[in-house]
Each structure stands twice: as structure tokens, then as C-alpha cells.
Amino acid sequence: MKCYLCGLDAQQDMSPMGKLVTCRDCGTYKISEIVLRELGSRKLNFSKMRDDLHRQRQYNATSVAEINSETAIWG
């Protein structure tokens, strides 16, 4: 599968309420089912979303960064 942010090859696993994505460029993040459904008609802002995931990882290193309806930054 492809990373939802950068489009490079990534690994994907199911997680509660979404998918767990591991990309060599973007890192590991969860993406919610709500955001996945919206990706059909909208596109995430790549650079702002990657910056936000990095901030999430710095703020709480013990949890996986997440893209959900509250954190999604649309382009």
C-alpha cells in the first residue's frame, strides 16, 4: 500500500478505529476511518500534516501519532 501522506510504499495494519501505517519517510501513525473516508474527496496537506505528526511524537513519545477528524489538516 501507499502512505496516505507522501505516497511512498508503506506497511499497513488494522488498529481500533482505523489503520496503523508505517512509512520509511513519514514514520508510524494511525489514521482514523473518518479521515480515510474523506480522502476520496479531499487531500491532506502533506507538509503541515507531517509537521503536526512530528509535534505529536515530541509531545508524547509513548503514543503513536494520529490523524483523526480533530488533527487532520486538509490541503
- In this predicted structure, what is the pLDDT of residue 17? 87
- In this predicted structure, what is the pLDDT of residue 15? 87
- In this predicted structure, what is the pLDDT of residue 16? 85
Which DSSP string do the residues of the chain spell out, in sequence order? -B-TTT-SBEEEEEETTEEEEEETTTEEEEEEHHHHHHTTT--B-HHHHHHHHHHHHHH-TTS-EEE-TTT--B-
Query: Mean of the pLDDT values across residues 2-22?
Result: 95
pTM of the model: 0.93
Tens-digit pLDDT profile for residues 13-68 = 998 889 999 999 999 999 999 999 999 999 999 999 999 999 999 999 899 999 99
